Amino acid sequence: MIAKLLPPPPALDDRCALFLDVDGTLLDFAPHPDAARVPDGLREVLAALHRRLDGALALVSGRPVDGLDTLFHPLRLPAAGLHGLELRSGEDGTRAPPVPDALSDVLDRARAFAAPRTGTVVEDKGS
């Protein structure tokens, strides 16, 4: 089967907003989340798009918002982190709630499960 070519996206105008997925879309997947790298020039392109859209651009990720800030530093964009548990539309935002005590046992069990399985990573995202 021959894949059909997609039409080009519409031109950006004042009615547009962009919600951009980070890992696997803006950034290549990495063997470990800490190994992900922002390609040269991407921060500048995102900053220009953010200005062009009068702030209507946000990063969307399973990472915490603080992790996005670290990764894209010094750029600080609106963001949805932890799959929407954390949101930031401007300077302020919502943070993840405190970690429930019950998750401690889940994390311990996940680490015990992963330990003998080479290449398995347990990523503690807090809440």
Catalytic positions, please? 21
Q: Are 12 and 52 spatial neighbours (Cβ–Cβ below 8 Å)?
A: yes
